[in-house]
Amino acid sequence: MRVAATVSRAQVLGFRLRAQQLDRESGGVADTAVLDIGVQDTGPDGGRWALAVRGVTNGELADRELATLWTLRGAPHLYRRADLPSVAAAVAPFSEVDAGKRIYDAARPLKAAGIGNLAALDAVASAMRAAVTEPTVKGTVSGRVADVLDAPYLRFCRSCDATHLYEMPFRLAALRAGLELQPGTSPPVLERIAGFTAASIAQPRHDVIRAYLRLLGPAAPKHVAGYLDAPVREVKARWPADAVEVSVAGTPAWVLASDADRLADAGPAGTRLLGPFDLFLQARDRSVVLPEPARAKAMWPVLGRPGAVLHDGDLVGEWRPRKAGSTLTVAVQLWTPASARLTAAITAQAEHLAAHRNARLSGVHITD
C-alpha cells in the first residue's frame, strides 16, 4: 500500500512531537509512549528529565517503577520494570551478523578464534551473572569476568595499563545476564533483576523497528538501522508489512499504516527544553530534524552535546545548564528573535528544570 502524499518537514516534526507526547502537560509511566523504545539516560538531564518534559513528575514515579538497562548502542535506557522480559527480547541482536556489527571491533578476535558472536554474548552474560551476586561496581564486575574468560574476549587498555573485556559485549550482555544498573550511580553499579526471565518474543509495542516508525517516523530502513547499530539488510528483512510509503523532501520514507492519518498537521504550540539525548533528537534523518548544516554541527558535536529548544513544532535554539552548589543557570542560544512569549516560555521551562534538579534558578541568559 502506498500513500500518495508528499509530507512536509513541519508535518514530520509535528507527527513525532505528538507521538512522543511532547505536547502534553501531565501523564504517568504507564501511558508514556517513549518508554516503549527506551529513554536514554545519559547525563544529568537524561531519562528522568525526558519524562518530565512529557508531563511525568517525580511524584508520579514509584521507587521501583523504572529500571535502567544497557541496551541499544550500549547506552543506558529507562524502561518500565514490568516490561523487562519483553524488552530483553526486543533489544537482542536479530542474528549472528547483527550481533557482530553491534559489538564493533570485539567481533574480529572472536571470529579468528572460531567463536560465534551470539555464543560470545551468552558466555559473557554467564560470567557476569556469576560475578554479580550483590550490587557490584562495574570495574569489579569487569575484573571478575576478565579473570574467567579467554583471550579472544579481552583487550589491553593503554589508558588503564590493564587487560579488560571489550566494552560493547560487556554492556550488551548485561541484560542477557539479568542485570540492571542502580540509578544515579557513577561509576555504574550492577545488580540482579529480581525474578527476571527474558521473553522469547517481544510484545509488538516493544518491537524496535515498529517503535521507531511509531515514534520517529516517517523513516527508511537505514535510519532504523543507524539507531539500532544493526545492518540495514537485517532491518529490511524485518520491515513491517503494514508500513506505507510517503515522500519526505523527495525521499521515500515509511510510516505504519495505522499512524498515516496523523501526518496531516504540523506541530502544536508550546515550548520544551529537550535534553541532549532526548528521543526527539535521536532520529537518524538529521537533515530533516535540522536542515542547516552549521546548526546541526553545533547540535550534534562529537563530545559535549547541548540541549535543544523546541518551540511551536520546530527547533529554534540550543541550551546549556550550569549548576553551582544549589543554584542553576541556563544559557540559551536562539536561532530566531527572542520574542517576549518565547522568552517567558524558556524561563518557565528553566524553572521546571531547576525544580527537577532540586536547585534554585539563578538566571536564564538568552542570546539570539
DSSP string, 227-285: HHT--HHHHHHT--TTEEEEEETTEEEEEEGGGGGGGSS-PPS-EEEE-TT-GGG--S-
Query: What order do you get walking across the sheet with 39-40 strand by strand?
Result: 39-40, 76-80, 66-70, 179-181, 189-192, 136-137
Percentage, residues of the chain above pLDDT 70:
97
Q: Cα separation of 185 and 236, whole Å? A: 38
Domain locations in the chain? Answer: 93-197, 271-367
Strand ranges, E, within the chain? 2-7, 39-40, 66-70, 76-80, 136-137, 154-157, 162-165, 179-181, 189-192, 243-248, 251-256, 271-274, 307-311, 314-324, 327-334, 360-367
What's 220's DSSP letter? Answer: -
pLDDT digits (tens, 9 = 90+) for 138-158: 999 999 999 999 999 999 888
pLDDT digits (tens, 9 = 90+) for 195-253: 999 999 999 999 999 999 999 999 999 999 999 999 999 999 999 999 999 999 899 99
Q: If you classify domain 271-367 with CATH, what class do you get?
A: alpha beta
What spatial distance separates the first Cα and last Cα of the chain, rounded to whole Å?
Answer: 45
pLDDT digits (tens, 9 = 90+) for 10-48: 999 999 999 999 999 999 999 999 999 999 999 999 999
pLDDT band at 1 (very low <50, low <70, confident <90, very high): very low
Q: How far is CA 368 from CA 38, 272, 339, in A?
A: 34, 17, 10
Record the pTM.
Answer: 0.96
